[in-house]
């Protein structure tokens, strides 16, 4: 559970409320401020860790506010993320960047805000002076822009690393592939949730059920993947059913376009150091997924990658 407290300060009430609601769903404590005096008052309380500051709320004087907060003892450690729309991004300069830890784009992508926020906090408080090339969280070439999860490139690189470690040290590792089988609109007039909105919500469901060291990625289109270090077939199967149960019990995008969706999953677990590399492991997980999808009423396919096939 997150112990991070975030102050959301946005010029647009609907936009700020959307971000606040998304953060609360992911167990962040959230405060909302609608004017400069409120921002200063909330941050001076001393328990706010991150300020998401909409540049339009303060106007061109936002760097002065950022410097003021950084200069005060109670707010000196505050992580400030500047929220910029497309027009504001074009005016954003290197000099401006010195006043804040990072920036996020508007309209908000909640998973991406969380990715940028957590990366900024690690840079500030862990003493790691890594740059974007050294930190995949901050490298857009490793991140799916829609969901904020890792992308296929990152998945394959990390799966290869985990497969090699599993082989070397003789511990289990599992790979899971999820796919969206069906999206059902609960209101014919409103129609089904958009695919983009659904992908974002599914990414959140995966984050909710995953360990901090699990590797989550949007593989392609409506497909997601997870690499589960130190997880055997039973553990991976339990993990998959937790996610499927959460998705089954969720009405997505309610009330705008209430929808239900159905997931299938393929699991492969590498036992006894039998992992043969990322491509082989992922291919086996895909075969398990296809086997589940081709069987009536079956939603999960699972198998061990035995040492005989190494």
All domains of the chain in start order, with CATH: 5-138 (3.40.50.2300), 152-309 (3.30.70.270)
The pTM for the full model equals 0.64
Consecutive H or E run containing 144: none
Paired tokens of 241: 């059913």
CA distance 95 to 84: 15
Q: What is the pLDDT along the chain (310 residues), one digit of tens a residue?
A: 456 899 999 999 999 999 999 898 878 999 999 999 999 999 999 899 999 999 889 888 888 999 999 999 999 999 999 998 877 777 766 556 678 888 888 988 887 788 788 777 777 765 443 333 334 444 567 888 888 889 999 999 999 988 888 888 788 999 999 999 989 888 888 888 888 888 988 998 898 899 888 999 999 999 999 999 999 999 999 999 999 999 999 888 766 778 899 999 999 998 765 557 888 899 999 999 999 999 877 899 999 987 544 3
Among 240, 230, 221, 25, residue whose Cα is nearest residue 114:
25
List of residues 6+ apart from 197 with CB closer than 8 A: 252, 253, 257
Q: Is-contact 5 36, C-beta < 8 A? A: no
User: Measured between alpha carbons, how far is 15 from 56 in angstroms, rounded to an integer?
Assistant: 12
Taking the C-alpha atoms of residue 106 and residue 108, their distance in angstroms, rounded to an integer, is 5
């Amino acid at each position: 559970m997150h112990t991070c407290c975030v102050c959301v300060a946005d010029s647009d009430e609907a936009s700020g409320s959307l971000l606040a609601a998304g953060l609360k769903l992911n167990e962040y404590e959230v405060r909302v401020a609608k004017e400069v005096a409120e921002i200063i008052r909330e941050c001076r309380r001393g328990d706010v860790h991150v300020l998401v500051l909409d540049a339009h709320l303060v106007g061109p004087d936002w760097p002065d506010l950022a410097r003021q907060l950084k200069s005060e003892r109670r707010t000196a450690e505050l992580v400030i993320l500047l929220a910029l729309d497309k027009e504001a991004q074009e005016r954003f300069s290197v000099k401006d960047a010195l006043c804040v830890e990072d920036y996020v784009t508007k309209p908000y992508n909640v998973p991406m805000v969380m990715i940028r926020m957590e990366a900024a906090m690690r840079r500030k408080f862990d003493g790691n002076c890594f740059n974007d090339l050294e930190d995949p969280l901050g490298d857009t070439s490793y991140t799916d822009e829609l969901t904020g999860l890792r992308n296929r490139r990152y998945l394959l690189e990390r799966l290869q690393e985990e497969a090699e470690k599993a082989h070397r040290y003789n511990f289990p590792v599992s790979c899971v592939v999820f796919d969206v089988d069906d999206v059902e609109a609960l209101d014919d007039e409103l129609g089904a949730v958009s695919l983009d909105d659904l992908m974002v919500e599914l990414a959140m469901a995966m984050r909710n059920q995953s360990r901090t060291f699990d590797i989550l990625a949007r593989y392609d289109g409506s497909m997601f993947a997870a690499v589960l270090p130190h997880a055997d077939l039973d553990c991976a199967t339990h993990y998959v059913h937790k996610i499927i149960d959460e998705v089954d019990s969720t009405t997505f995008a309610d009330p705008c376009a209430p929808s239900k969706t159905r997931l299938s999953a393929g699991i492969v677990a590498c036992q006894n150091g039998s992992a043969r590399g990322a491509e082989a492991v992922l291919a086996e997980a895909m075969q398990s997924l296809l086997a589940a999808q081709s069987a009536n009423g079956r939603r999960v396919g699972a198998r061990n990658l035995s040492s005989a096939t190494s």
